[in-house]
């Protein structure tokens, strides 16, 4: 797969919530090859502070315009948020494997489950899923009403959007896992009679993903998860981002087979593949 290091001009970098920003720039090279779930490795500074790039998912693609949605959590994302339109941006991408979002025709319903900033890659996924199906459910979890992201964007794509907040200021009072529970439990029988299967795509903080894993294991629903790790190279060269995966058939001979690289083999994994106790 071809990967590009491009230097582009920022079209727009605007604040979308208390601590989240959306940035856009044009890159034909990346836009015409990228898949939902893939990410960019972004240089946040021209100095050695911070030194390393920061991995950020692709949030949207419109024509050749790439959008990222990011939360300011430290120095790198802080510097990114200070950039304005016309400033240069240096990105490497597309990186990683991306979601396997091919649906079985007429018998698979996608549910997108995003916690906090974890919603970022799911919007691009929804953009692509609309090409295949019209009944996408999106479950958005946030700490409170002010931090809910992308609700209007998903609605514009005709997705069925449900919201949860930790303080009950919008949607249900609870977590996005509670929302998912509701999707799985009552409709399970209905889905069965209609011969429909769910396909879940999720991203968010690890404690949430762990609960999603428990839930979908119980109901045996096919699920893909996008994970994060501290990264240096982002391209599979440094072994910095490994994650433990379930026993590989070859692992008796070679234990390294049980470790995958989040940057190259991921960031998207089948939820069953991950050894959740190890994260």
Partner 1 sequence: MKHISLDINIAGIKMKNPVIAASGTFGYGLEYSQLIDINFFGAIVTKTITLEPRIGNPQPRIVEVASGMLNSIGLQNPGAKVFIEEKLPKLKGYGVPIIANISGSKEAEFVKLADLLKDMGLSGLELNISCPNVEHAGLFAQDADTTYKLVRKVRKVTSLPLIVKLTPNVTDITLIARASEDAGADAISLINTLIGMSIDIQTKMPKLANVIGGLSGPAVKPVALRMVYEVSKKVRIPVIGMGGIMTSEDSIEFLLAGASAVAIGTANFVNPNTCCEIIEGIKTYMKANSFNKISDITGKLK
Ligand X SMILES: Cc1cc2nc3c(=O)[nH]c(=O)nc-3n(C[C@H](O)[C@H](O)[C@H](O)COP(=O)(O)O)c2cc1C
Binding site for ligand FES (CB under 6 A): 231-234, 236-241, 261, 263
Nearer to partner 1, 53 or 213 (CB): 53
CB of 233 to ligand X, least distance (A): 8
Using the minimum distance from each CB to ligand FAD, give the nearer residue, 176 or 198.
176
- Please list every residue from 18 through 57 that binds partner 1, using CB under 8 A: 43, 48-53
Closest contact distance (angstroms) between CB of 74 and ligand FAD is: 2
CB atoms within 10 A of CB 108: 15
**DSSP tag of 123:** H
Burial letters 11-44, b for 16+ CB under 10 A, else e: eebeeebebbbbbbbbbebbbeebbbbbbbbbbb
Separation in Å, CA 81 to CA 64, 85, 91: 22, 11, 15
Which residues lie below 8 Å from residue 59, measured CB to CB, with a gap of 6+? 22, 67, 68, 69, 120, 121, 123, 124
Nearest to 123, CA basis, from 93, 156, 153: 153
**What token pair was written down for 97?**
């494997």
Residue nearest to ligand FAD (CB): 74
By beta-carbon proximity to partner 1, the closer residue of 214 and 256 is 256
Which of 132-140, 177-185, 196-204, 251-259 is the region at the interface with partner 1 (rule: CB under 8 A)? Answer: 251-259
Instruction: Rule CB under 6 A: choose which of 25, 70, 101, 123 binds ligand FAD.
Output: 70
CB 41, min distance to partner 1, A = 9
The answer to whether residue 172 forms part of the interface with partner 1 (CB under 8 A) is: no
**Binding to ligand X by residue 51, rule CB under 6 A?**
no
User: Interacting stretch for ligand X, rule CB under 6 A, among 45-53, 117-125, 142-150, 232-240?
Assistant: 232-240
Count CB-CB contacts under 10 A for residue 10.
17
Site membership for ligand FAD, residue 230 (CB under 6 A): yes
179 vs 276: CA distance, rounded Å = 21
Q: Which is nearer to partner 1, 51 or 104 (CB)?
A: 51
Binding flag, residue 232, ligand X (CB under 6 A): yes
Q: Which stretch binds partner 1 (CB under 8 A): 143-151, 189-197, 218-226, 256-264?
A: 256-264
Q: What are 267's two structure tokens?
A: 């960031």
Quick one: which of 189, 35, 29 has its CA closest to 102? Answer: 35
- Scan residues 113-132 and list those touching ligand FAD (CB under 6 A): 117, 120
């Amino acid at each position: 797969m071809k990967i590009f290091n491009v230097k582009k001009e920022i079209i727009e970098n605007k604040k979308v919530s208390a601590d989240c920003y959306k940035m856009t720039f044009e890159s034909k090279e990346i836009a015409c090859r990228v898949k939902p779930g893939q990410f960019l490795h972004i240089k946040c500074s021209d100095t050695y502070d911070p030194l390393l790039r920061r991995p950020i998912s692709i949030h949207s693609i419109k024509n050749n315009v790439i959008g990222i949605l990011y939360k300011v959590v430290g120095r790198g994302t802080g510097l990114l948020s200070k950039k304005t339109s016309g400033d240069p941006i240096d990105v490497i991408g597309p990186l990683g494997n991306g979601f396997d979002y091919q649906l079985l025709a007429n018998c698979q319903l996608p549910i997108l489950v995003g916690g906090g900033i974890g919603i970022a890659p799911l919007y691009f996924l929804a953009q692509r899923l609309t090409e295949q199906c019209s009944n996408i459910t999106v479950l958005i979890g946030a700490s409170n009403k002010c931090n809910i992201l992308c609700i209007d964007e998903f609605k514009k794509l005709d997705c069925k959007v449900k919201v949860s907040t930790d303080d009950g200021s919008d949607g249900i009072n609870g977590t996005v896992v509670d929302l998912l529970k509701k999707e799985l439990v009552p409709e399970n029988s209905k889905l069965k009679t209609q011969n429909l299967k769910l396909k879940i795509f999720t991203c968010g903080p690890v404690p949430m993903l762990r609960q999603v894993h428990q839930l979908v294991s119980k109901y045996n629903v096919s699920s893909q998860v996008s994970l994060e790790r501290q990264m240096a190279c982002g391209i599979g060269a440094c072994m910095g981002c490994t994650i433990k995966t379930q026993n590989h058939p070859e692992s008796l001979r070679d234990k390294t087979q049980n470790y995958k690289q989040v940057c190259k083999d991921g960031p998207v994994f089948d939820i069953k593949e991950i050894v959740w106790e190890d994260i």
